[in-house]
Amino acid sequence: MTAREEAKNLGLTDLEFDEIVKTLKREPNYLELSLYSVMWSEHCSYKNSKAVLKRFPTEGPQVLQGPGENAGIVDIGDNLAIAMKTESHNHPSAVDPYQGAATGAGGMLRDIFTMGARPIALLNSLRFGKLDDDRAEYLFREAVAGIGDYGNAIGVPTVGGEVYFDDSYEENPLVNAMCLGIVPHDKIVLGKAAGVGNSVMIVGAATGRDGMHGASFASGELTEGNEDQGSPMQVGDPFKEKQLMEACMELLQKEWVVGVQDMGAAGVVSSTSETAARAGNGIEIDVALVPQRDKDMKPYEIMISESQERMLVIVEKGHEDDVKKIFEKWDLDAVKFGTVTDDGMLRILENGKVVGEVPAASLAGGVPIVKRESRRPEYLDKLQTDFSKIPVPSDLNDILLKLLDLPNIASKAIVYRQFDQTVGTNTVVTPGSDAAVLRIKGTKRGIAVTIDGNGYYCYLDPYEGGKQIVAEAARNLVVSGAKPVALTDGLNFGNPEKPEVYYQFEKCVDGLSDAARKLGVPVISGNVSFYNEGKHTAIYPSPVVGMLGVLEDVEKHCTMDFKQDGDVVVLLGENTDELGGSIYLQELLDIVAGPAPKVDIEKEKKVQDCCLKAIQLGLVNSAHDIVQGGLAIALAECCIAGNIGFEGEIESNLRPDTLLFGEGQSRIIMSLKQDNLSTLNKLASELGVKVSVIGFVKGDSLKLTINQKDKTVGNIEVPVKKMAEVSKNAIKGRMKK
């Protein structure tokens, strides 16, 4: 077999093979081709997305480290910073959902403590097929168990997340994890192989054959031929990860540590080539020195293995024994297997003999960038519907209860109760509200974190959908009392080689970028996952946004639950005539139709500023944003969370179902003491935000009357206990196990 044929078998194109030959000035051997095949895969190289990702705003006064490292880092005051990252583990989770999700969480943790930050919180964003499908239920159950078991064992709380079920994810589930860690400014460590002559060490677990070609596997479609492929699967050990984390946290206090890099996708080759390239140096290693779990491993297997719980450490020459002592204490390997060089080459030896030699920079960033064709999908022209022809439902109570019974709206307690939410004693607001809130020990400060996405909106209108995700994430932080400061994204799409998919990707990124820029929330890290397609269909375009907010005083946080009988309930923002894209149409009426709700970012910012200022002034007892399910669902959630009722009346020219279940953006429900209403009205007037009194916290039922020109056109009256029961049992009632 020729080298070109071997390259094709490894997933390299003719163009890429020619570029490799041009770089090396010779044909590569099989080992070298294997290195390029994983490093130039989409998963590692972002060759299909780099050009588009440059559109993101990545700088800001609080950004200490933007994209390009293992995680982004943002200043939160008091000489402290938060490291954060989102990563996907979609394809592995489709093959083995337990290990796929568990190792996804493990990889995220390593990305964080690699930066010198102690992990303090995990979140997740999950997408599966509908629960009436046996495989979807299996994937959901096992993925949740994998996340919970790994995080619980290592002692990092899972404090938030989201779960959606839709037919578009039946063949290709999405498992995205987010992790945050805290680090003093002067303890931040970067992944650079600096200092010629310094030692390159591999620490942690031994290397085996698990995870072979995992990066390449993650860069292709799931097909009948590869969905049962076992070789790309990593196997996680959370207890070993805990040992590794503690050993690394001890190590990173030492001034002689030069750089640290997680061995995630592509294992040794990615960690060595990336650290060398960042420093403009080379690295020479001997693979025979790598601790091996399996017998007779070939050099290419050692180089591309994705065995878990391993790190690359660069230390000043002469401190190798110091590293070994730390890791021996934690019952882990620590072996010098290489040296930093000045020639820019990644040189691979086996027992002292050179078996491969390539420029580190070409592996880490030399892939030919692809500019894909982008074409607006024809289906977008077929999604318009005359909503006036849809009959107005006569029983609004029935609609409300049916929406609360949908897994995408119902309580996710069956999921988050499997996670330890309070280990570390930092968690102030646990899952179930709009965002998690954590205290920063030793200070008055707190942080709020959320992860959000809406693939359906992005399917109906990729640009507006992208804007909406950023706006909603920021809104979730604001209603919790936090100022949004930075975001990390997970961009999940189908095959970028299809022009319609690439159009979705580009427009979503444009929407995300425009909203992030106007709201002043830079993108500091993220992940792209393409080829999320099965044999029959691609997923909805499904970007997710993890966002961080800061509270100057954590005691001034806010939650969604109605708290006090007699409080006045107000609406910030304006109800709009937007029924398209609603879950009411999609799930109850089986109408897939747009347009998705529009987001006016200027108006959105005013509403958020008003809400945040009101919370900071102590005017507000509860706050909750209006998203899926509309106004009625938001009110129901406030009632259920507080176990108390609501009575109100709204005058509106909108159809009753549009008013109640339409998902117009830039709206927030707040409750407050009546004595604070005049102050709120003054604040809102100064900011140009509409405030409407819609009712009062009262009784044990949700009661709402809708009037048009003094005529009642709709009523809702449902006991809170009934709503809570329906919401609580929705997911469990659909599961067979």
Domains and CATH numbers, the chain: 190-364 (3.90.650.10), 390-395+558-736 (3.90.650.10)
How many Å apart are CA 725 and CA 718, to the nearest integer? Answer: 12
Indicate the average pLDDT of the chain: 93
The verdict on whether residue 497 carries a ligand-binding annotation is no
Kindly give the parts of the chain with pLDDT less than 50. 214-220, 224-231
Handedness of CA 634, 635, 638, 640 (dihedral sign): negative
Q: Do 127 and 493 meet the contact criterion of CB atoms below 8 Å apart? A: no
Contact 501, 538 (CB under 8 A): yes
Can you give the pLDDT at residue 221? 53
The pLDDT, as a whole number, for residue 209 is 87
Flag whether 536 is marked binding: no
User: What's the one-letter identity of residue 120?
Assistant: I
Q: Is 416 annotated as a binding residue?
A: no
| Residue 604 among known ligand-binding residues | no
Q: In what order do the strands lie in the sheet with 257-262?
A: 257-262, 310-315, 199-204, 333-341, 282-286, 345-350, 353-359
The Cβ of residue 138 has, within 10 Å, a number of other Cβ atoms equal to 14
Report the alpha-carbon distance of residue 661 to residue 411 in Å, rounded.
18
Nearest to 471 by CA among 457, 108, 616, 557: 457
CB 416 within 8 A of CB 431: yes
- Distance between CA atoms of residues 157 and 529, nearest Å: 25
The number of residues making up the chain comes to 737
Q: What is the pLDDT of residue 227?
A: 43
pLDDT value of position 222: 52
Query: Is 270 a known ligand-binding residue?
Result: no
The tokens for 128 are: 């599966």
Q: Which helix (H) or strand (E) holds 355?
A: strand 353-359
| Tokens coding 434 | 């709009």
What confidence score (pLDDT) does residue 215 get? 45
Q: Please check if 514 is assigned to a binding site.
A: no
Picking from 450, 520, 444, the residue whose alpha carbon sits closest to that of residue 62 is 520
Distance of alpha carbon 198 from alpha carbon 527, whole angstroms: 31
Query: What was the pLDDT predicted at 211?
Result: 64
Q: Is 130 annotated as a binding residue?
A: no
Both structure tokens of 94: 């489709």
| 100 touches 94 (CB < 8 A) | yes
pLDDT at 534: 83
Q: Is 225 annotated as a binding residue?
A: no
Q: What pLDDT is recorded for position 538? A: 85
Q: What is the amino acid identity at position 327?
A: F
Return d(Cα 171, Cα 537) in angstroms, integer. Answer: 8
3-class secondary structure per residue, 245-261: HHHHHHHCCCCCEEEEE
Provide the token pair at 529. Answer: 């996952």
306 annotated binding-site participant: yes
90 labeled part of a ligand binding site: yes
Q: For position 228, what pLDDT does the model report?
A: 40
Query: 537-594 pLDDT, tens per residue?
Result: 889 999 999 999 999 999 999 999 999 999 999 999 999 999 999 999 999 999 988 8
Say which DSSP state 292 is in.
Answer: B
Catalytic residue status for 557? no
Of 256, 348, 255, 319, nearest to 35 (Cα)?
348
The verdict on whether residue 653 carries a ligand-binding annotation is no
Marked catalytic residue, from 89, 213, 557, 624: 89
93 labeled part of a ligand binding site: no
Instruction: Give per-residue pLDDT as tens, 358-386.
Output: 999 999 999 999 889 999 999 999 888 88
Are 694 and 648 a contacting pair, CB within 8 Å?
A: yes
Torsional class of 213: left (φ above 0), alpha (ψ -120 to 50), beta (otherwise): left
pLDDT at 625: 97
Distance of CA 629 to the CA centre of its chain: 23
The pair phi, psi for residue 323, each rounded to 5°, is -65, -45
User: Is residue 687 exposed (0-12), middle (13-18) or buried (19+ Cβ within 10 Å)?
Assistant: middle
Per annotation, catalytic residue among 43, 213, 557, 624: 43
Confirm whether residue 384 is marked as ligand binding.
no
Integer Cα distance of 153 and 234 in angstroms = 18
234 labelled binding-site residue? yes
Is 99 among the annotated ligand-binding positions? no
Q: Given this model, what pLDDT does residue 151 score? A: 86
Q: Is residue 609 exposed (0-12), middle (13-18) or buried (19+ Cβ within 10 Å)? A: middle
Catalytic annotation on 43? yes
Alpha helices in 163-285 (DSSP H): 214-217, 238-251, 267-279
**518 in Cβ contact with 439 (< 8 Å):** no
Q: Tokens standing for 566?
A: 């007699």
Check the annotation: does 426 bind a ligand. Answer: no
Question: Are β-strands 282-286 and 345-350 bridged in parallel, bridged antiparallel, or unpaired?
Answer: parallel
Is 262 part of any known ligand binding site? Answer: yes
529 is in an annotated binding site: yes
- The full DSSP string for 53-97 is HTTS----TTEEE-BTBSSEEEEEETTEEEEEEEEE-HHHHHH-H
Distances, alpha carbon 494 to alpha carbons 171, 222, 399, in Å: 12, 11, 33
Fill in the amino acid letter for 627: V
